[in-house]
A and B are shown apart, each in its own frame.
Chain A
């Protein structure tokens, strides 16, 4: 009986958490006003079917990160530009971080779990949420209001979440942290340097992937790490890569491309690692060998 009650209690807690994190609770994250701005219109909600109507041309970015829903509220004030606050529920901290990677140039620690601050906008992520506070013009009042709004929303979000596990596998030496891009849609594989125009590895919703730049004495290397469900898929990725790049099927494989840059790849356990763009083989090898030493 005691075990049964414990079970019920856990179910209640989970349900309660779900309710708090879902649905109309997004509404509670918005401040009603930041003087002199007021929200005179109701909060608008969007899902995967309607996000296109709201974000013309940008919806697919969010959908590629398993977007769940979004809420938007416009704040108006006489003689001041409108401020629009958008809160995206990405379903998981990993996906919220992933979307944030696309705007981050230099991480500002003052909001949520990381922010990008512009003159006319503050964008940050916290827990499963990705938040944008954006003004339609810049005035001295806007410059005061944006931090206040972002700060209020930050305080109202009570949850935080971990970074994607795959990031722990990135070698620390030489890493440009602000270049990290977490994703699981192949469209983003070319973000730091063109690799291929098709999903040749492949990368899909069941895989985790990360891109990052490394610098060793001015030699910039780009690393792609893909974590598959099993070693067979990772092995196939290596095969697909060597075939597409016209390289011998070796593990690891290193080659100097026709422009003088080095490329290297490795399959280890369920992971596929690719390093490219570097001018020095030693650095490419260093990054690849690092993964050979990982459990």
Chain B
């Protein structure tokens, strides 16, 4: 672990070098705009008014269409087939890294939608697996050449936010070793041999995000809302940074004041500043918005 400089309230206010990303992630300073400076990475936000129905039931057909449109936009391809062929090759062995947290898991409909498109690229069925807590012993994940990373966005009692960066925690056989300093160094998971360089696509599920966590299980349905969206990108840090901005704006709308995400989700900032996994600077992210625009917040 590298030595850490202290980022203070004052250093963020003074617009220091880390202020662009840190001001938003750590202190709720308002973001000026997406992609106003050098755009270095693209994130696609797609929403559909009807994807979440009564009692949270997910419409699988709409979700499939949302995924297809988002991936096409991300890759710049005109068809779903061409888009996915830019991501997965027929000879790949594909691990779909899901999330099974019982209060807010990756929807099975999304897992199926991803798997369907992976199969259509020509990957054999036996070379595809969907897993979360069993990835270390899953034969497909053990020899995977490609990973697709997907998890719901939620606040987290110790890391600040449950994110795509954090979703690879199950690749570690020593999870508590990532707990110091509110999980600051989660980006090092992405250096693990089972993971490094293999992630082809990141899908942050923002269908029903959890924007504030209370109680022993850090969940209360009062703080979940139907946002009906997916955030899709190649850069997990950028997608997570956009997710953090969404949570920040929702909290401000709900509480009528800035209640910072606590603990601050510094692992997103450090994934950029310390580990160079991607960009957390919203000013350098080209956010493409597709679909339903009502109450879009960001």
Interface residues of A (CB under 8 A from B): 52, 55-58, 60-62, 86, 88, 102-103, 105, 116, 118-121, 123, 130, 132, 134, 187-188, 190-191, 193-198, 200, 244-246, 257-259, 263, 276
Contacts and interface: CB of A to CB of B under 8 A. Distances in A.
Contacts of B109: none
A196 B13 contact: no
Contacts of A103: 214-215
Interface in B245-271: 260, 262-264, 266
B260 to A, nearest CB: 5
Given A57-B162, A103-B214, A198-B4, 7 more contacts: A88-B216, A190-B262, A190-B264, A194-B9, A194-B26, A197-B264, A200-B6
Contact of A257 (B9, B162, B214): B9
A197 B7 contact: yes
A132 B26 contact: no
Nearest to A196: B8
B101 interface: yes
Contact of A60 (B12, B158, B222): B158
B8 A132 contact: no
A134 B13 contact: no
B157 A132 contact: no
Contacts of B102: 56
Contacts of B176: 52
Nearest to A260: B13
Given A197-B7, A244-B6, A259 B13 contact: yes
Interface in B165-191: 175-176, 179, 181-182
Nearest to B213: A58
Contacts of A198: 4, 6-7, 181
Contacts of A245: 8-10
Nearest to B176: A52
Contacts of B9: 193-196, 245, 257, 263, 276
B13 A258 contact: yes
A194 B264 contact: yes
Given A57-B157, A118-B222, A119-B222, A196 B215 contact: no
Find the residue from A58, A61, A194 having the highest chain B CB count within 10 A: A194
A196 B7 contact: yes
A102 B215 CA distance: 8
11 contacts: A56-B102, A61-B158, A118-B220, A118-B222, A123-B214, A132-B217, A190-B262, A193-B260, A195-B8, A197-B266, A200-B8
B14 A258 contact: yes
Interface in B4-42: 4, 6-10, 12-14, 26-28
Given A52-B176, A103-B214, A132-B215, A258 B10 contact: yes
Contacts of A244: 6, 8
A194 B260 CA distance: 7
Nearest to B262: A191
Given A194-B26, A194-B264, A245-B10, A102 B214 contact: yes
Contacts of B266: 197
A60 B157 contact: yes
B159 interface: yes
A221 B13 CA distance: 17
Find the residue from B159, B182, B263 having the highest chain A CB count within 10 A: B263
A69 to B, nearest CB: 13
B48 interface: no
B255 to A, nearest CB: 10
A102 B157 CA distance: 10
Contacts of A60: 157-158, 179
Contact of B27 (A120, A132, A194): A194
Nearest to B183: A60
A20 B222 CA distance: 36
Contacts of B4: 197-198
A258 B9 CA distance: 10
